[in-house]
Amino acid sequence: MLHKGKVVVFLCSMLIVLYGISAAFYGKVVARDEAYPALRVFMDALKQVNDSYVEIPDMNKVQEGAMRGLIDALDPYSTFLTKAQVEALDGRKDRTADVGMVISKRANLICVVATEHNGAAEAAGMRPGDYLTSIDGVNVEEASLVEAESLLRGSAGSKVNATVFRGSQTKPIVIEMTRKDGRTAGVGSRMLDGRIGVLEVSSLTTSNLEQARVKLKTLISAGAQKLLLDLRDCADGEPANGADLANFFLKNGLIYTSKSRGGETLLEAKANPDKFVTDLPMVVLINSSTAGPAEIAAGALKGGKRATVVGEKSFGMGASQKRMKLTSGAVLILSTAKFYTPDGRMIENDETPRDTGIKPDIEAPDQDRLQDLLVDAYFDAQEDAAKYKQLQDKINQEQLDKAVEILTKGVVASKRAA
């Protein structure tokens, strides 16, 4: 009787929790109409587990598993953390050194979005597109991004081993990385023939944003007549930094909007004339490792018809999350808003992955040329790391050449610097 009483209490608790979550997702009216049938199915499944499972189930574990499954089904950035997991994460907060890479999820597995130029991960041989299966022996195939990021952090100089699945390898490989404090330089600039100023931004932290402003003004002072903004492999930073970068090239107008599930506009980020720097004709370079705030910048410049975007479709990372602590001590991290470009395109579309990300105006290299490059690399006799570097160098150069060609031919409208 006591056991049955506990089960009844648990089932009632689950009913209350799931009703609350459903209301948060669908709104009060929709929850009232649609949540109850789903809850009935869930409650029936719980009853069958309790009554028929081959062993007496640990209903606390069942509850935690159900909650995690519920939240993990939403998107890569939403998760449920038990009280024990929260405490473990809190215990590692002082570990600030990392390996210099941005991760996300693809096919519910931890994947590498981008590696920091000259950072620990890149130096050790980690590549965008790699999948992490374990970190220091801890299986992360079902881990949240928060947990995986925590495991990658540690003290400066310490080492971390990641087991990696890579498409070009038949077996998993282990990559050892040495954690570092701070970031390498995330902004570079140079002048090309034809008075084309190149601003390379590989990280959109607040300090790098200020560096980008200074280097942009320096290029203009040095006589740049056209600009190339290189956002390839730029994936970290805050949304506001991406908006501010776009604002350097936009005197007015919409940069991005943040919308709730129901399409309600939560935030409209508009250009501030005081932050404007120049309206010189420009091209933006992106690739599949362009993500987050860099996508906000590229989307604003493309959607506002301010620049021609060249390269590959970007990764598609455009949602904001809210952390919610539950009475049990567990934590929900939920995506509560999505970012949209000025022309109304959603940057992160989880329901239709083919539509996610910023699509370039001009693809470089195009699919036929990319296939030729991949075939050449496959039959190259060099060892894997050398082949990979050579392939990436060719792709990067062809993208740069295409951007310069567009600027040289004057495809973008010519304007004078402000």
pLDDT at 417: 35
Reported as a pLDDT band with limits 50, 70 and 90, residue 210 is: very high
| C-beta separation of 302 from 417 below 8 A | no
Residues 290 and 146 in one domain: no
Q: State the Cα–Cα distance between residues 257 and 266, nearest whole angstrom.
A: 8
Higher pLDDT, 372 or 286: 286
Residues 192 and 159 in one domain: no
pLDDT at 69: 77
Whether 415 is in a domain gets the answer no
Count Cβ atoms below 10 Å from residue 351 Cβ, excluding itself: 8
Domain boundary among 178, 211, 229: 178
pLDDT at 10: 42
Number of domains comprising the chain: 3
Residues 123 and 219 in one domain: no
Nearest partner of 21 among 70, 63, 59, judged by Cα:
70
pLDDT at 34: 54
Whether 276 is in a domain gets the answer yes
Whether 87 is in a domain gets the answer no
Residues 118 and 99 in one domain: yes
Reported as a pLDDT band with limits 50, 70 and 90, residue 38 is: low
Nearest partner of 333 among 319, 344, 343, judged by Cα:
319
Higher pLDDT, 102 or 181: 102
- Tokens 């991290």 belong to 333
Q: How confident is the model over 42-60, as a mean pLDDT? A: 74
Whether 48 is in a domain gets the answer yes
pLDDT over 90 for what percent of the chain? 61
Q: State the Cα–Cα distance between residues 78 and 321, nearest whole angstrom.
A: 7
Residues 374 and 260 in one domain: yes
Whether 53 is in a domain gets the answer yes
Residues 54 and 196 in one domain: no
Whether 331 is in a domain gets the answer no
In the predicted model, is pLDDT for residue 185 greater than 90?
Answer: no
Higher pLDDT, 379 or 78: 78
pLDDT at 40: 74
Q: Return the beta strands (E) in 19-127 as ranges.
A: 79-81, 101-106, 109-115
Reported as a pLDDT band with limits 50, 70 and 90, residue 29 is: very low
Helix and strand counts by DSSP (H, E) for the chain? 10, 17
Residues 172 and 123 in one domain: yes
Whether 151 is in a domain gets the answer yes
How far is the CA of 412 from the CAs of 303, 304, 360, in angstroms? 14, 13, 14
By residue range, what is the domain housing residue 101? 92-178
Q: Any bridge partners for residue 114, and if so which?
A: 102
How far is the CA of 255 from the CAs of 192, 298, 299, in angstroms? 29, 10, 8
Residues 299 and 349 in one domain: yes
Domain boundary among 178, 210, 225: 178
In the predicted model, is pLDDT for residue 158 greater than 50?
Answer: yes
Residues 381 and 277 in one domain: yes
Local structure of 144: helix, strand or coil: coil
pLDDT digits (tens, 9 = 90+) for 61-72: 777 777 777 788
Local structure of 101: helix, strand or coil: strand
Q: How confident is the model over 345-362, as a mean pLDDT? A: 91
| C-beta separation of 189 from 197 below 8 A | yes
Q: What is the DSSP string of 331-369?
A: EEEEEEEEEE-TTS-BS--SS-GGG-SPPPSEESS-HHH
pLDDT at 162: 97
Rounded to the nearest 5°, which phi and psi values hold at 124? Answer: -80, -10
For the chain, give the mean pLDDT: 86
Q: State the Cα–Cα distance between residues 157 and 70, nearest whole angstrom.
A: 38
Count Cβ atoms below 10 Å from residue 259 Cβ, excluding itself: 17
Q: How confident is the model over 167-179, as a mean pLDDT? A: 90
- Strand pairing class (196-201; 226-230): parallel
pLDDT at 225: 97
Q: State the Cα–Cα distance between residues 320 and 154, nearest whole angstrom.
A: 26
Whether 327 is in a domain gets the answer no
In the predicted model, is pLDDT for residue 293 greater than 80?
Answer: yes
Higher pLDDT, 207 or 362: 362
pLDDT at 5: 44
Identify the CATH number of the domain in which residue 388 sits. 3.90.226.10
Identify the CATH number of the domain in which residue 108 sits. 2.30.42.10
In the predicted model, is pLDDT for residue 3 greater than 70?
Answer: no
Q: How far is CA 275 from the centre of its chain?
A: 26
pLDDT at 414: 39
Residues 70 and 136 in one domain: no
Q: State the Cα–Cα distance between residues 84 and 80, nearest whole angstrom.
A: 12
Domain boundary among 145, 178, 211: 178
Residues 381 and 298 in one domain: yes
Higher pLDDT, 63 or 221: 221
Most confidently modeled range among 55-64, 162-171, 295-304: 295-304
Reported as a pLDDT band with limits 50, 70 and 90, residue 191 is: very high
* Alpha helices, DSSP H, located in 153-205: none
Residues 288 and 380 in one domain: yes
